[in-house]
Amino acid sequence: MVQSKVNTINDINIGDTASYTRTITEADVYQYAGIIGDYNPIRVNEEFAKNTVYKKRLAHGLLYASFISKIVGTDFPGPGTIHVSQEMNWTKHAYIGDTVTTRLEVTKIDGKTNKVWIDVVCKNQNDEIILTGEGIIMPPTKEMKGDLES
């Protein structure tokens, strides 16, 4: 039994949207750096960052891009969803402490291959676009939905 709604391809329509807002904490950035082994000083060294055009430590671009995976895997379409491909364009940087809202919108659905195309936009707390992209996902199958809701 899961809390989230499980949406199969038949429950999804073009124009459907979902979003997730999260403040990126220093703890997030440092744990993420540890997992992937990316201790780029632009992310974890305040003194180094001061001497760059960025002035402060930046969050890893792929950290907040990962919120796309959070939305599709837990909220919409929800549990059982598989990520097929993802394109990301970083238009601005996010700093530690920024609050990022990730929003996706369904743009295309292919019932034959069970694939759904999503447009993605991340904005910061000042409503500035920091990331855009397009992804392809496979929503949970009817069988998965049955297993998750039984």
Give the interface with other proteins as residue ranges (CB under 8 A): 2, 20, 22, 28, 31-32, 34-43, 45, 47-48, 50-52, 54, 58, 60-63, 65-70, 73-74, 79-90, 93, 143-144, 147-148
Shortest distance in whole angstroms from residue 66 CB to other proteins:
4
Shortest distance in whole angstroms from residue 13 CB to other proteins:
22
Measured from the CB atom, the residue of 90 and 117 that comes closer to other proteins is: 90
Q: What's the Rg (C-alpha) of the chain?
A: 17
Cβ neighbours around 22 below 10 Å, total: 14
Among candidate residues 28, 18, 143, 128, the one with its CA nearest the CA of residue 77: 18
Measured from the CB atom, the residue of 32 and 118 that comes closer to other proteins is: 32
Measured from the CB atom, the residue of 15 and 86 that comes closer to other proteins is: 86
How far, rounded to the nearest angstrom, does the alpha carbon of residue 35 sit from its chain's CA centroid? 17
Shortest distance in whole angstroms from residue 137 CB to other proteins:
10
**Residue 145: C-alpha distances to residues 20, 49, 73 (Å):** 22, 46, 13
- The phi and psi torsions of 138 (rounded to 5 degrees) equal -115, 115
Sequence-ordered list of residues with C-beta below 8 angstroms from that of 73, at least 6 positions apart, any chain: 79, 81, 83
Shortest distance in whole angstroms from residue 48 CB to other proteins:
5
Shortest distance in whole angstroms from residue 15 CB to other proteins:
24
Measured from the CB atom, the residue of 80 and 123 that comes closer to other proteins is: 80
Looking at residue 1, its amino acid is: M
Measured from the CB atom, the residue of 15 and 26 that comes closer to other proteins is: 26
